[in-house]
Structure 1
Amino acid sequence: MPQEAFLHKMKYSTDDIAIIVALEEELPETILPEFKIFYSGVGKINATLKTAEVIYKTNPKLVINYGSAGALNKNMSGLHQVTSFYQRDMDVTDLGFMVGETPLDDINQISLDEKGVSCGTGDSFVSSNQALQTDLVDMEAYAIAKVCLINKLDFMCFKFISDNADAEAGDNWVKNMSLGKIFFRDKILNLFNK
């Protein structure tokens, strides 16, 4: 069953949903005032800590991650639902592991559904090709997805493409990272019939 069909059947209330975003500039609380929005800060460690805190303090049934992302797939633009998550900066290839594979960890790739796009998460801003090829790159999604998986919570992720993860990525991210908030708002209001 597609994830969106499952979510419609669940009929979450806004009290059941926690939206986690790295930066307030990406999604100010005023855009979705009826939802609980939490800001993690940038990077995997900050995202992990904030997600654990949100779960502990608010006990959500569904966690949604939203934010900006770079596109490695140059044919993509706009807002996308991410359903496959990788840790793009985990590199222990010298010991015989694949890029993105954490040694002795049962959870490496996280897949929610066959539809959607893939995202490689890492603690670096991407402005060139990557060893691990995914559709998108960001700095938080994998960490949030893994915390939700371990805690058996429903999880969704939406990313707005702010740049093409190339030499102009830094300038384009600054110009575009806040543009997706209206697309995300409309998607969430439509999904949850608000």
Structure 2
Amino acid sequence: MIVITSVLRDEILGAFRELLPVLENGEILKRPYVRGLIGVNEVLLVYGLIGKVESAMMAQALIDRFKPKYFIHCGSAGAINKERKIGDIVCGTEYIEHDISFREKNVRIFKASDVLMERIYDIFNDIKFGVIASGDVFVDSEEEKERIYRETNAEVVDMDSAAIAKVCAENDINFCALKIVVDSSMEGSEIEIKRNLKRLAPFPSAIIAEMLEKHLL
């Protein structure tokens, strides 16, 4: 089984539209899920993973209940690398929590699944690969943006990917996150998100759906 998650419903619509047939509708920890097929792959779609705590909680619950082989997280993110533009799609190669002190020796970096990265690139090669940094803070200042980039060398920032990556690593589950840039992580980012989110959010999950149509995982 492949689990595909997102924070918002709009971010998982690209995969939901390709889910046929639908085999089951249910609920897990008060979040709705849908199970079905994309191609010949059995897929479970869930949204509502907001922030590091909820993301980790949901990831472990999904792993315990459904025992997936692959776990893919889709959605939106803010640019940290100044070269990243609105609409760029970033596949995370490594995941790190930027709101944990980097003076601590136990800060861990979690790596993405090589298999998933290769399959995604086979479908969509206009993609950026690099670090995704996560933290329970909305980044909307040049100072904070520069600090995170200096400490992590991340392409984008979100509030969820690193927490899911950590849980998957502890459970030996193949993980990858695919994110689209919807804001520049600067002053005025909230306006950018409102303008770009609905239009851009479904693209990463649509890419994953196309990948699952073509490849058996």
Matched, 1:136 2:156: yes
Matched, 1:187 2:207: yes
Contact 1:44–1:140 under 8 Å retained in 2: yes
CA distance in 1, matches of 2:2, 2:92: 18
Match of 1:177 among 190, 193, 197: 197
Match of 1:79 among 69, 83, 89: 89
Matched, 1:26 2:48: no
Q: Report the AA paired with residue 48 of structure 2.
A: S
Shift of 1:48: 0.3
Give identity over the alignment, percent: 27
TM-score where L is the length of structure 2: 0.70
Q: 1:193 to 1:25 in 2, by over 3 A?
A: closer
Shift of 1:179: 2.7
Q: Report the AA paired with residue 132 of structure 1.
A: I
Shift of 1:124: 0.7
Q: Report the AA paired with residue 110 of structure 1.
A: F
**Larger helix fraction of residues:** 2
Superimposed CA distance per residue, residues 83-117 of structure 1 (whole angstroms, 9 cap, x where no aligned partner): 111111112x6xxx1xxx4x5x4x61123369811
CA distance in 1, matches of 2:10, 2:175: 22
CA distance in 1, matches of 2:9, 2:186: 24
Between 1:111-120 and 1:50-59, the stretch displaced more is 111-120
Quote the residue 1:161 is aligned against: 181
Q: Report the AA paired with residue 120 of structure 1.
A: A
Q: 1:30 to 1:145 in 2, by over 3 A?
A: same
Quote the residue 2:24 is aligned against: none
Shift of 1:49: 0.4
Could you tell me which runs of 5 or more consecutive residues in structure 1 were left unpaired when the two chains were aligned: 1-15
Structure number with higher relative contact order (C-alpha < 8 Å, ≥ 6 residues apart): 2
Superimposed CA distance per residue, residues 144-172 of structure 1 (whole angstroms, 9 cap, x where no aligned partner): 00000000001111001010000011111
CA distance in 1, matches of 2:210, 2:6: 19
Task: Give 1:117-132 correspondences, 5 Å limit.
Answer: 117-128=130-141, 129-130=143-144, 131-132=147-148
Contact 1:82–1:119 under 8 Å retained in 2: yes
CA distance in 1, matches of 2:61, 2:198: 25
Q: 1:54 to 1:182 in 2, by over 3 A?
A: same
Superimposed CA distance per residue, residues 29-65 of structure 1 (whole angstroms, 9 cap, x where no aligned partner): 6434243211233100000000011101111100001
Could you tell me which runs of 5 or more consecutive residues in structure 2 were left unpaired when the two chains were aligned: 20-36, 38-42, 118-127
- Structure 1 ranges of 4+ moved more than 6 A: none
Between 1:69-78 and 1:157-166, the stretch displaced more is 69-78
Contact 1:24–1:39 under 8 Å retained in 2: yes
Quote the residue 1:68 is aligned against: 76
Q: 1:189 to 1:39 in 2, by over 3 A?
A: closer
Match of 1:88 among 91, 98, 101: 98
Cα RMSD over matched residues?
2.2
Q: Residue 195 of structure 2: SS of its match in structure 1?
A: helix
